[in-house]
Amino acid sequence: MEKEVYILSSIRTNNFTDDALQDKVRAVWHTAREKNDGGMLYGIYHNYESDYRGDYTLSVATTSPISDDVLTLPQTKYTTYITSAPHIFDTWESIWQRESEGSINRAYTIDFERYLEDGRVEIFVAFK
């Protein structure tokens, strides 16, 4: 599944300590949508400081080669969760809960969301 994507916009943030998280996430997606030329969009979580409680980089990327900033989504072991845009945060909370309970062991390399044309969102979580 190794795939090159082209980064349109990025932010550094933290889900638990960044008071401006929602505004930053909206802004990064707004910028990316303005730049995108119709390619499939990806939300990519990378450069993890530690686990889900630490800082990380969120990049929004596309399959269209419209940026010089290329990121390769590695071929690795992923668990896939299917959701829809309104339920993405709820799905991530469920993933964090499972991790806290010890039922999943995340790798904290690169995780990503793939936004499908039919409104579904596939969340790929790398695990050890």
CATH code of the domain occupying 3-126: 3.20.80.10
Global pTM reads: 0.94
Chunked into runs of 10 residues, the chain (128 residues) has average pLDDT values of 92 96 95 93 98 97 95 95 95 96 96 96 97
| Sequence ranges of the domains in the chain | 3-126
> Which stretches within the chain are classed as H helix?
21-35, 88-101
DSSP-derived letter for residue 40 is P
DSSP SS3 for 1: coil
Confidence at residue 11, expressed as pLDDT on a 0 to 100 scale: 97
**Phi, psi at residue 16, to the nearest 5°?**
-115, -20
Confidence at residue 63, expressed as pLDDT on a 0 to 100 scale: 94
CB-based contact 120:51 (threshold 8 Å): no
* 36 vs 65: CA distance, rounded Å: 10
Which amino acid is it at 125? Answer: V
